[in-house]
Amino acid sequence: MNPVQSQQDATRRDGSGAETDRPPLAVVGSQISQDEELFGRAFDPWVIKRFMAYLAPYKRQLLIGLGCVLAFTLTQLTLPLLVRATIDHALADGADDLSLLQIFVVAFLGVVVLNYAANHFMETLIGKTAQRLLFDLRRAMYAHLQVVSLSFMDRTEVGRLMSRLQGDVNALQEFLESSIFAIGDLVLLVGIVIVLLSLDPALGGLTLSVLPLLLLVRIIWLPLARKAFMRAREASSTTNAALAENVHGIRAIQELRREAVNFELFEEKARENLDAHLAASRYTNVMVPIVDTLTGSAMAIVILIGGSMVLDNTLDVGVMVAFLFYVQRFFDPIRSLTLQYSIMQRAMAAGQRIFEVMDVEVEVQDAPDAEDPAEIDGAIEFRDVTFGYERGNPILRNITFKVQPGETVALVGPTGSGKTSTTALVHRFYDVWEGEVLVGGRDVRAVTQDSLGRHIAMVLQEPFLFSATIEENIRYAKTGSTRAQVEDAATAVGAHDFIMRLENGYDTMLDQRGSNLSLGQRQLISFARALLADAKILVLDEATASIDSYTELEIQRALARLLKDRTAMVIAHRLATIRGADRIIVLEGGEIVEQGSHDALMASGGLYARLYRMNYASFDDIPADEVAKAIASGERET
Amino acid sequence: MAPAPDTAKRLDTQVDGAYSIDVSNVDATVLMRITAMAFRHRWRMSVAVLTTILGGLFQLMVPQYLGQAVDQAQGLLRDAAAGVSDQSAAESALLTSALLLLGAAILRGVFTMMHNYQGEAVGQLIGYRLRLDYYRQLQRLSLSWHDRVHTGDLMTRGILDIEGVRLWVDTGILRSVLLTVLIGGGAVVLFRNDPVLACVALSFVPIVGIRASIARLKLRDTWILMQDKMSELTNVMEENLGGIRVVRAFAAQAFELGRYDRISEEALTIASRRVRLFVLSTTQMTFVYFLAMGLTLWVGGAKVAAGEISLGQLTEALAFMLILQMPVRQIGWMINSIARASTCGGRLFNVIDLEPSIADKPGAGDLVLTEGVVRFENVDFSYPSWAKDDRTLAGIDLEARPGKMIGIVGPPGSGKTTIAQLLGRYYDVTGGRITVDGQDIRDVTLASLRDTVAIVQQEPFLFTASIDHNVAYGDPWAGRSSIERSAQTAQLHNYIKALPNDYETLVGERGVSLSGGQRQRLSIARAILPDAKLLVLDDSTAAIDAATERRIRESLKDYTKERGVIVIAHRLSSLMHADEIVFLEAGRIVERGDHDSLMAAGGRYAQLYELQARTGAEPKTGAEPKTGGAS
Ligand SMILES: Nc1ncnc2c1ncn2[C@@H]1O[C@H](COP(=O)(O)OP(=O)(O)OP(=O)(O)O)[C@@H](O)[C@H]1O
Ligand SMILES: Nc1ncnc2c1ncn2[C@@H]1O[C@H](COP(=O)(O)OP(=O)(O)OP(=O)(O)O)[C@@H](O)[C@H]1O
Ligand SMILES: [Mg+2]
Ligand SMILES: [Mg+2]
- The rounded distance, in Å, linking the Cα atoms of A173 and A354 is 13
Set out the domains of chain A in order of their start, with CATH numbers: 1-14+24-199+335-362 (1.20.1560.10), 380-604 (3.40.50.300), 605-638 (no CATH)
In a domain, B368, yes or no: no
Task: Give residue A244's pLDDT.
Answer: 87
Mean pLDDT of chain A: 81
In a domain, B473, yes or no: no
Instruction: Check pocket membership of B383 for ligand 2, CB cut-off 6 A.
Output: yes
Nearest to A294 by CA among B610, B105, B629: B105
Instruction: Check pocket membership of B506 for ligand 1, CB cut-off 6 A.
Output: no
Instruction: Check pocket membership of B457 for ligand 2, CB cut-off 6 A.
Output: no
Last residue in a domain, options B299, B325, B355: B355
Residues whose beta carbons lie less than 5 angstroms from ion ligand 4: A 518-519; B 417, 458
| Same structural domain, B348 and B395 | no
Q: How does DSSP classify residue B151?
A: H
Task: Give residue B340's pLDDT.
Answer: 86
**Dihedral angle computed from the Cα positions of residues B406, B409, B414 and B420, in that order, rounded to the nearest 10 degrees:** 30
Pick the residue whose CA is nearest to atom 29 on ligand 1. Answer: A416
In a domain, B468, yes or no: no
In a domain, B148, yes or no: yes
In a domain, B185, yes or no: no
CB contact under 8 A, B146 and A147: no
| Same structural domain, B26 and B128 | yes
Interface of B with A in 346-365 (CB under 8 A): none
| Same structural domain, B224 and B345 | yes
Chain B: give the shortest CA distance to residue A383, in Å.
22
Interface of B with A in 237-266 (CB under 8 A): 237-253, 255-257, 260-261, 264
Residue with more model confidence, B139 or A210: B139
Last residue in a domain, options B355, B390, B420: B355
Q: What is the pLDDT of residues A507-546, one digit of tens each?
A: 988 888 888 899 999 999 999 999 998 889 999 998 888 8
Residue with more model confidence, A13 or B97: B97
Ligand nearest to the CA of B147: 2
Nearest CB among B238, B319, B472 relative to A162 is that of B238
| Same structural domain, B442 and B400 | yes
Residues whose beta carbons lie less than 5 angstroms from ion ligand 3: A 420, 461; B 515-516
In a domain, B69, yes or no: no
| Same structural domain, B452 and B316 | no
Nearest CB among A131, A498, A618 relative to B268 is that of A131
CATH number for the domain including B199?
Answer: 1.20.1560.10
Nearest CB among A83, A124, A416 relative to B318 is that of A83
Nearest CA in chain A to B251: A453
CB contact under 8 A, A132 and B268: yes
- The rounded distance, in Å, linking the Cα atoms of A319 and A196 is 9
Task: Give residue A30's pLDDT.
Answer: 67
| Same structural domain, B332 and B393 | no
Residue B354 CA, distance from chain mean position: 13
Instruction: Check pocket membership of A420 for ligand 1, CB cut-off 6 A.
Output: yes
Task: Report residue A551's pLDDT band, with 50, 70 and 90 as the boundaries.
Answer: confident
**Dihedral angle computed from the Cα positions of residues B83, B84, B87 and B88, in that order, rounded to the nearest 10 degrees:** 170
Q: What is the pLDDT of residues A265-281, one digit of tens each?
A: 999 999 999 999 999 88
| Same structural domain, B559 and B455 | yes
Residue A397: its H or E element = strand A393-403
| Same structural domain, B342 and B404 | no
Instruction: Check pocket membership of A152 for ligand 1, CB cut-off 6 A.
Output: no
Task: Report residue A96's pLDDT band, with 50, 70 and 90 as the boundaries.
Answer: low
- The tally of CA atoms less than 13 A away on the side-chain side of residue B604 is 23
| Same structural domain, B266 and B412 | no
* Domain coverage including residue B154: 10-39+122-168+190-355
A460 CA distance to ligand 3 centroid (A)?
A: 9
Instruction: Check pocket membership of B392 for ligand 2, CB cut-off 6 A.
Output: yes
Instruction: Check pocket membership of A515 for ligand 2, CB cut-off 6 A.
Output: yes
Chain B: give the shortest CA distance to residue A401, in Å.
22
A461 CA distance to ligand 3 centroid (A)?
A: 6
Integer-rounded Cα radius of gyration of chain A = 36
CB of B218 less than 8 A from some CB of A: no
Pick the residue whose CA is nearest to atom 30 on ligand 2. Answer: A517
Nearest CB among A115, A252, A303 relative to B98 is that of A303
- Which of ligand 1's atoms lies nearest the C-alpha of B512? 1
Residue B399 CA, distance from chain mean position: 40
Among A12, A292, A448, A582, the residue to mutate for chain B (most B Cβ within 10 A): A292
CB contact under 8 A, B94 and A308: yes
Q: How does DSSP classify residue B503?
A: G
The answer to whether the beta carbons of residues B614 and A636 sit under 8 Å apart is no
Task: Report residue A248's pLDDT band, with 50, 70 and 90 as the boundaries.
Answer: confident
CB contact under 8 A, B159 and A162: no
The answer to whether the beta carbons of residues B617 and B609 sit under 8 Å apart is no
Instruction: Check pocket membership of A519 for ligand 2, CB cut-off 6 A.
Output: yes
Q: What is the pLDDT of residues A167-198, one digit of tens each?
A: 888 888 878 777 766 777 778 888 888 888 88
- The rounded distance, in Å, linking the Cα atoms of B420 and A430 is 38
Degrees, nearest 5: CA angle B176-A113-B201: 45
Task: Give residue B84's pLDDT.
Answer: 56
DSSP of A609-623: HHHHHHHHHTSTTS-
Within chain B, which residues score under 50 in pLDDT? 1-7, 15-23, 615-631
CB contact under 8 A, A250 and B143: yes
- The rounded distance, in Å, linking the Cα atoms of B149 and B605 is 38
Give the strands of the sheet with A442-443, arranged side by side: A393-403, A380-390, A434-439, A442-443
| Same structural domain, B327 and B440 | no
CB of A258 less than 8 A from some CB of B: yes
Contacts of A15 in chain B (CB under 8 A): 476-477
Last residue in a domain, options B355, B390, B411: B355
| Same structural domain, B272 and B415 | no
- The rounded distance, in Å, linking the Cα atoms of B390 and B631 is 6
- The rounded distance, in Å, linking the Cα atoms of A214 and A532 is 69
Structural domains of chain B, count? 2
Q: What is the pLDDT of residues A131-153, one digit of tens each?
A: 888 899 999 999 999 888 888 88
* Alpha-carbon distances of B164 from A232, A246, B91, B169, B201, rounded to whole Å: 18, 21, 52, 10, 34
CB contact under 8 A, A292 and B91: no
| Same structural domain, B311 and B251 | yes
Mean pLDDT for A489-499 is 90
B450 CA distance to ligand 1 centroid (A)?
A: 32
Rounded to the nearest 10 degrees, the angle between the axes of helix A317-339 and helix B42-82 is 160
**Dihedral angle computed from the Cα positions of residues A330, A331, A337 and A338, in that order, rounded to the nearest 10 degrees:** 160
Instruction: Check pocket membership of B546 for ligand 1, CB cut-off 6 A.
Output: no
DSSP of B153-184: HHHHIIIIIHHHHHHIIIIIIIHHHHHHHHHH
The answer to whether the beta carbons of residues B293 and A86 sit under 8 Å apart is no
Nearest to A152 by CA among A162, A143, A161: A161
Among A157, A618, A631, A637, the residue to mutate for chain B (most B Cβ within 10 A): A618
In a domain, B66, yes or no: no
B554 CA distance to ligand 2 centroid (A)?
A: 30
Q: What is the pLDDT of residues A437-458, one digit of tens each?
A: 999 889 999 999 888 988 999 9
In a domain, B505, yes or no: no
Q: What is the pLDDT of residues A35-83, one digit of tens each?
A: 444 444 556 778 888 888 888 888 888 888 888 888 888 888 888 788 7
Chain A: give the shortest CA distance to residue B130, in Å.
10
CATH number for the domain including B381?
Answer: 3.40.50.300
